[in-house]
């Protein structure tokens, strides 16, 4: 065995060794708003059990937090009843809570019983059948806290609030014994297909079910009667209430009880399955018509009952898969930092739950499992379907989990825009604005052209690069080429264009580099699909990039607007440049690292605003993309800690939002709560996933990195990893933290900011969700309005203005100036600024030398990345240990009476 094989072996085992050593398998802090059953856009239940409070004292809600979801849990221990879910009774005590990527766990105490309630929303990267099944598990393990036997009964029910947004609607229900399980179901008596109200489906059937066990009883009836029975010492009667009625006031509930008898501990967990089933799932524009599409799992199952039986029977395996995935993600995350791993744990379910994985039928009406399309709801921002900038933000999680998810997300966008139904020369922002209707949108609004063409090309290439499947980019090559040509004409000077954040300006550095990266992505696509286009696009991209460095960089940083030294922003689109390996001067990344670090001392509590031209709003997805652009771990950790501070802010009342005030943390309308964009948290891991050899035929069977055959360099990298890994391993071992189960001790929480830390109550940010039709921010919408009404001369015609800019007759605005607000007279001309910067290396290359430069750049960067991520892990300057120990050990055993669901 050669020495290189030995190193490769080490390389192979390295992750396993580190997993054993790090051992972080769950978040180091409790999350403020905890995902319970979060598996689809309409199965999305959370509980705001922040700060150690008991989930038995708070009602779960839909993700909007505007809608309570009746989901009650009680336990009777030696005759005394405690509530562990929902509110109204005597709350069981919460000893601890934490989240993992797939699970939320509460450790509870009631009388002499200690029990864990675990909410598992499976994430199944290898299996679309399982991933598409809109169900979550709830399971309970219990043991007596004094080792003595105690008599124990558990009870749980759900109300009709899951089946509709309006309590005045009539619901009907049914209970089925399949032989292996008992299934309760409930739905509106008059369902409204494809209608959602206040974000909830009006065409869903909610299921609550349990595998049959001899000690289980069930019943349907009013909440008062069934909960009253249980607290009064009885079990359930296995009978149905058939008096169908409105959701309230005589709340019909679907209940189960289990009599465990006199036990010291459960031998197997109690397991429930909860789900919201819709069929069909979406309507999708197909040619001149509309097709209805169903969930992927329908190809395998004729009936929900059979699918649900299998889901319950598969619990042990599902749990094992979940633990394996959780451990992998958390140890990959912990290799960056504990805080980073925390962000992975709190973000993944909301990303995965935003999607419906669908299949169509063939001409004979049979399911066609080759016809897979995935639809993503822009949860937290509106009802847009496959909103392009949200997809772009979510991509890292999907690329990391299984890049095969990304193809079917892009396919419907591509298919629609390649059809005669779509007329615009630039990429659309979405497939329409009323999920679950994906009917397309042909409105001619070019202002977002650079944004969306750039996003689409980057994502299309990232899909091919990480999955090895070149069939998608081959199929839509001409469309992608059209968008590339649009970018070639319009990217460097973004005159007339807007970013999805709502930023406007003739020379926006961040938007420009996205467009340029899109062109480069196309050069990589053409390398596989149509080689004759490659050199041209590669040269265009590298030339524009060189020009961009000259224009965008001044005063030691990339400015928001070319030449305006006082402006700066998180240049998050450089993340995409790294992802697709666009050659960018390394010094530029380093200078940005230093610049961000230099701003840390003036950063507000919740981190940098993403742009100095915005009014102090931070955006988690762009902050973490920016962390992905760093080469310095100090700066990386600084950015991670900013997002972490908000994500685990215990006064938060909302599921992890993307957009919030950087000073107060308040999430503001269109705040992206529960947004799939949080898939951005995986940005650091996605960079490390190997590229695959792209084949045109379809998914490649042989994976592995597409490494240039420079053997010496490979060995060098491996040796470096081995040495650095060992050093890191030893260092990390010294850093072992105490168990997060031990909430009482100070020092358990790894994080705090040394600066001002005012104590605030729960954020008052629970305004109803505002729905935005097309453009994310109000400002951009206003611009679009001005443009379409013709009152804004600058934006009357994006194309001609942009071309004009290229021809040299430029009108520049200073940042802060907005078109229509003042005369666009202030100007700066030409490209001279960049010439003076210290690092600027003009290099106009072409053909073979350009190609070589790219390969060498790629390799060099890979090495630099590995070095940066393994080597330097010192604590960032402004963000220091240790914490104020602000995690309450538990809530009191309160008995909170409320008008809702009285026992």
Closest CA to 655 of 624, 620, 685, 626: 620
Of these, 773, 816, 820, 875, which contacts ligand NAG (CB under 6 A)?
773
In angstroms, what is the minimal distance from the CB of 442 to ligand NAG? 8
In angstroms, what is the minimal distance from the CB of 825 to ligand NAG? 31
In angstroms, what is the minimal distance from the CB of 308 to ligand NAG? 13
Among residues 339 and 634, whose Cβ is nearest to ligand NAG?
A: 634
Of these, 207, 340, 461, 774, which contacts ligand NAG (CB under 6 A)?
774
In angstroms, what is the minimal distance from the CB of 209 to ligand NAG? 12
Q: Is 362 in the site for ligand NAG (CB under 6 A)?
A: yes
Side-chain-side CA neighbours of 506 within 13 Å: the count stands at: 27
Question: Between helices 449-467 and 477-490, what is the axis angle to 10°?
Answer: 130
Side-chain-side CA neighbours of 503 within 13 Å: the count stands at: 30
Q: Is 597 in the site for ligand NAG (CB under 6 A)?
A: yes
Among residues 742 and 881, whose Cβ is nearest to ligand NAG?
A: 742
In angstroms, what is the minimal distance from the CB of 850 to ligand NAG? 29
In angstroms, what is the minimal distance from the CB of 181 to ligand NAG? 12
Among residues 540 and 692, whose Cβ is nearest to ligand NAG?
A: 692
d(CA 398, CA 38): 17
DSSP of 654-710: SS--SEEETTT--B-SS--TT-GGGGGGGHHHHHHSPP---BSSSS-S--S----S-
Window 33 to 92, contacts with ligand NAG (CB under 6 A): 50-51
**Can you say whether the dihedral through the CA atoms of 693, 694, 697, 699 is positive or negative?**
positive
Q: Is 482 in the site for ligand NAG (CB under 6 A)?
A: no
Q: Is 445 in the site for ligand NAG (CB under 6 A)?
A: yes
Q: Is 433 in the site for ligand NAG (CB under 6 A)?
A: yes
In angstroms, what is the minimal distance from the CB of 78 to ligand NAG? 7
726: three-class secondary structure by DSSP:
helix
Q: Is 368 in the site for ligand NAG (CB under 6 A)?
A: yes
Q: Is 331 in the site for ligand NAG (CB under 6 A)?
A: no
Distances from the Cα of 205 to the Cα of 151, 275, 500, 742, angstroms: 35, 8, 35, 41
d(CA 35, CA 352): 12
Contact partners, residue 628, CB within 8 Å, separation at least 6: 396, 575, 578, 579, 683, 684, 686, 687
282-286/437-438 β-pairing: parallel
In angstroms, what is the minimal distance from the CB of 537 to ligand NAG? 28
d(CA 669, CA 381): 8
Unique residue bearing structure tokens 């930023």: 503
Q: Is 432 in the site for ligand NAG (CB under 6 A)?
A: yes
Q: Is 404 in the site for ligand NAG (CB under 6 A)?
A: yes
Q: Is 851 in the site for ligand NAG (CB under 6 A)?
A: no
CB 885 within 8 A of CB 746: yes
In angstroms, what is the minimal distance from the CB of 827 to ligand NAG? 31
Torsion of CA 751, 754, 756, 759, to 10 degrees: 30
Among residues 713 and 871, whose Cβ is nearest to ligand NAG?
A: 871
Q: Is 176 in the site for ligand NAG (CB under 6 A)?
A: yes
In angstroms, what is the minimal distance from the CB of 265 to ligand NAG? 7
Q: Is 752 in the site for ligand NAG (CB under 6 A)?
A: no
Of these, 323, 535, 668, 762, which contacts ligand NAG (CB under 6 A)?
762
Determine phi and psi for 554, rounding to 5 degrees: -155, 155
In angstroms, what is the minimal distance from the CB of 95 to ligand NAG? 9
Closest CA to 867 of 719, 735, 747: 719
Q: Is 15 in the site for ligand NAG (CB under 6 A)?
A: no
369: three-class secondary structure by DSSP:
strand
Distances from the Cα of 645 to the Cα of 93, 310, 586, 750, angstroms: 26, 40, 29, 11
Helix or strand run (H / E) with residue 347: helix 338-352
Among residues 370 and 807, whose Cβ is nearest to ligand NAG?
A: 370
Window 116 to 135, contacts with ligand NAG (CB under 6 A): 116, 125-126, 128
In angstroms, what is the minimal distance from the CB of 70 to ligand NAG? 21
Of these, 18, 441, 542, 667, which contacts ligand NAG (CB under 6 A)?
441
CB 18 within 8 A of CB 729: yes
CB 321 within 8 A of CB 131: no
Of these, 4, 21, 66, 149, which contacts ligand NAG (CB under 6 A)?
149
Among residues 292 and 535, whose Cβ is nearest to ligand NAG?
A: 292
Unique residue bearing structure tokens 């451990």: 327
Determine phi and psi for 137, rounding to 5 degrees: -100, 150
Q: Which string of x and - marks every residue 693-732 that binds ligand NAG (by CB under 6 A)? A: ----------------------------------------
Of these, 90, 187, 220, 632, which contacts ligand NAG (CB under 6 A)?
632
Of these, 759, 789, 809, 829, which contacts ligand NAG (CB under 6 A)?
759
Of these, 143, 245, 853, 867, which contacts ligand NAG (CB under 6 A)?
143
Among residues 287 and 842, whose Cβ is nearest to ligand NAG?
A: 287
Window 261 to 280, contacts with ligand NAG (CB under 6 A): 262
Give the binding range for ligand NAG (CB under 6 A) out of 627-635, 658-666, 710-718, 724-732: 627-635
Of these, 5, 168, 370, 758, which contacts ligand NAG (CB under 6 A)?
370
Determine phi and psi for 56, rounding to 5 degrees: -90, 10
What totals of helices (H) and strands (E) does the chain contain, helices first? 22, 28
Closest CA to 340 of 723, 641, 767, 782: 641
Q: For ligand NAG, which residue has the nearest CB?
A: 774
CB 68 within 8 A of CB 59: yes
Q: Is 443 in the site for ligand NAG (CB under 6 A)?
A: yes
Of these, 141, 310, 485, 851, which contacts ligand NAG (CB under 6 A)?
141
Report how far Cα 513 is from the mean position of its chain's Cα atoms. Answer: 23
Q: How many CB atoms lie within 10 A of CB 40?
A: 28
Of these, 4, 66, 112, 174, which contacts ligand NAG (CB under 6 A)?
174
Q: Is 888 in the site for ligand NAG (CB under 6 A)?
A: yes
Helix or strand run (H / E) with residue 817: none
Give the binding range for ligand NAG (CB under 6 A) out of 137-145, 506-514, 802-810, 855-863: 137-145
**Can you say whether the dihedral through the CA atoms of 233, 81, 45, 373 is positive or negative?**
negative
Among residues 174 and 421, whose Cβ is nearest to ligand NAG?
A: 174
First to last CA, the chain: 71
Sheet containing 355-361, strands listed edge to edge, beginning at the edge strand earlier in sequence: 367-376, 355-361, 289-295, 282-286, 437-438
Window 638 to 667, contacts with ligand NAG (CB under 6 A): 650-651
Give the total of residues touching ligand NAG (CB under 6 A).
44
Of these, 58, 142, 427, 780, which contacts ligand NAG (CB under 6 A)?
142
Q: Is 587 in the site for ligand NAG (CB under 6 A)?
A: no
Of these, 66, 151, 539, 793, which contacts ligand NAG (CB under 6 A)?
151
Closest CA to 679 of 403, 392, 396, 386: 396
Which residues are at the interface with ligand NAG (CB under 6 A)? 50-51, 107, 114-116, 125-126, 128, 141-143, 149, 151, 174, 176, 262, 362-363, 368, 370-371, 402, 404, 432-433, 441, 443, 445, 594, 597, 632, 634-635, 650-651, 759, 762, 773-775, 872, 886, 888
């Amino acid at each position: 065995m050669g020495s290189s094989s030995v190193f490769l072996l080490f390389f192979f085992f390295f992750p396993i060794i580190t997993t054993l050593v790090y051992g972080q398998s769950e978040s180091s802090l409790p999350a403020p708003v905890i995902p319970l059953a979060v598996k689809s856009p309409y199965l999305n239940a959370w509980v705001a059990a922040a700060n150690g409070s008991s989930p038995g004292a708070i009602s779960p809600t839909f993700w909007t937090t505007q809608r309570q979801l009746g989901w009650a849990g009680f336990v009777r221990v030696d005759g005394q009843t405690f509530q562990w879910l929902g509110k109204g009774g005597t709350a069981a005590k919460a000893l601890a809570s934490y989240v993992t990527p797939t699970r939320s766990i509460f450790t509870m105490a009631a009388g002499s019983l200690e029990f864990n309630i675990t909410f598992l929303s499976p994430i199944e990267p290898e299996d679309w059948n399982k991933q598409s099944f809109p169900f979550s598990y709830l399971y309970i393990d219990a043991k007596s806290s004094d080792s003595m036997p105690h008599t124990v009964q558990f009870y749980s029910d759900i109300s009709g609030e899951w089946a509709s947004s309006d309590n005045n609607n009539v619901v009907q229900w049914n209970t089925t014994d399949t032989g292996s399980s008992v299934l309760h179901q409930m739905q509106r008596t008059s369902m409204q297909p494809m209608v959602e109200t206040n974000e909830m489906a009006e065409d869903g059937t909610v299921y609550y079910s349990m595998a049959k066990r001899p000690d289980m009883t069930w019943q349907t009836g009013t909440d008062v009667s069934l909960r009253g029975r249980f607290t009064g010492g009885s079990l359930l009667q296995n009978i149905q209430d058939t008096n169908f009625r409105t959701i309230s006031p005589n709340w019909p509930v679907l209940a189960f009880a289990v009599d465990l008898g006199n036990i010291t501990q459960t031998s197997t967990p109690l397991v429930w399955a909860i789900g919201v089933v819709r069929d069909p799932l979406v309507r999708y524009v197909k040619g001149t018509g509309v097709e209805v599409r169903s969930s992927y799992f329908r190809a395998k199952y004729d009936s929900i009952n059979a699918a649900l039986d299998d889901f319950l029977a598969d619990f042990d395996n599902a749990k094992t898969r979940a633990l394996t995935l959780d451990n992998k993600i958390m140890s990959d995350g912990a290799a960056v930092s504990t805080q980073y791993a925390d962000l992975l744990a709190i973000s993944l379910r909301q990303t995965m739950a935003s999607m419906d994985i669908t299949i169509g039928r063939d001409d004979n009406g049979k399911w066609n499992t080759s016809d897979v399309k995935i639809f993503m709801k822009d949860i937290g921002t509106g009802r847009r379907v496959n909103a392009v900038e949200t997809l772009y933000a979510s991509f890292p999680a999907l690329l990391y989990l299984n890049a095969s998810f990304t193809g079917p997300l892009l396919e419907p966008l591509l298919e629609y825009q390649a059809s005669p139904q779509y007329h615009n020369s630039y990429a659309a922002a979405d497939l329409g604005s009323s999920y679950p209707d994906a009917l397309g949108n042909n409105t001619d609004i070019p202002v977002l052209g650079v944004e969306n063409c750039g996003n689409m090309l980057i994502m299309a290439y990232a899909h091919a690069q990480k999955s090895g499947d070149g069939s998608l980019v081959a199929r839509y090559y001409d469309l992608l080429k059209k968008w590339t040509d649009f970018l070639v004409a319009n990217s460097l000077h973004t005159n007339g264009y807007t970013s999805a954040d709502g930023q406007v300006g003739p020379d926006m550095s961040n938007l420009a580099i996205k467009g340029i990266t899109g062109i480069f992505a196309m050069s990589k696509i053409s390398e596989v699909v149509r080689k004759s286009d490659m050199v041209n696009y590669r040269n265009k991209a590298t030339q524009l990039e060189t020009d961009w460095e000259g224009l965008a960089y001044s005063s030691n940083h990339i400015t928001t607007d070319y030449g305006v030294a006082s402006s700066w922003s998180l240049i998050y689109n450089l993340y995409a440049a790294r992802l697709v390996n666009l050659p960018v001067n390394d010094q530029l990344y380093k200078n940005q690292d230093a610049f961000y670090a230099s701003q840390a001392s003036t950063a507000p509590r919740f981190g940098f605003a993403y742009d100095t031209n915005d009014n102090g709003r931070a955006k988690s997805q762009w902050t973490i993309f920016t962390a992905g652009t760093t080469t310095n771990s100090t700066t990386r950790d600084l950015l991670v800690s900013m997002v972490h501070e908000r994500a685990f802010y215990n006064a938060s009342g909302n599921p992890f939002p993307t957009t919030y005030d950087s000073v107060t943390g308040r999430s503001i309308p269109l705040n992206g709560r529960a947004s799939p964009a949080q898939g951005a948290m995986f940005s650091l891991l996605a960079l490390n996933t190997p590229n695959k050899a792209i084949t045109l035929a379809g998914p490649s069977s042989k994976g592995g990195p597409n490494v240039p055959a420079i053997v010496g360099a490979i060995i060098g990298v491996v040796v470096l990893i081995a040495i650095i890994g060992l050093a890191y391993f030893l260092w990390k071992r010294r850093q072992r933290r105490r168990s997060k189960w031990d909430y009482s001790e100070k020092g358990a929480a790894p994080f705090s900011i040394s600066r001002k830390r005012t104590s605030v109550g729960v954020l008052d940010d629970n305004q109803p969700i505002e729905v935005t039709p097309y453009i994310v921010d109000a400002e951009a919408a206003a611009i679009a309005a001005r443009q379409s009404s013709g009152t804004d001369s600058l934006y009357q015609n994006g194309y001609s203005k942009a071309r004009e800019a290229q021809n040299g007759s430029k009108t520049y605005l200073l940042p802060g100036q907005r078109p229509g607000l003042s005369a666009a007279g202030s100007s700066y001309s030409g490209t001279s600024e960049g010439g003076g910067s210290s690092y600027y290396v003009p290099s106009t290359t072409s053909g073979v030398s350009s190609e070589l430069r790219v390969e060498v750049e790629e390799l060099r960067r890979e090495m630099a990345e590995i070095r940066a991520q393994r080597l330097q892990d010192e604590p960032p300057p402004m963000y220091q240990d240790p914490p104020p120990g602000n995690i309450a050990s538990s809530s009191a055993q309160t008995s909170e009476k409320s008008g809702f669901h009285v026992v």
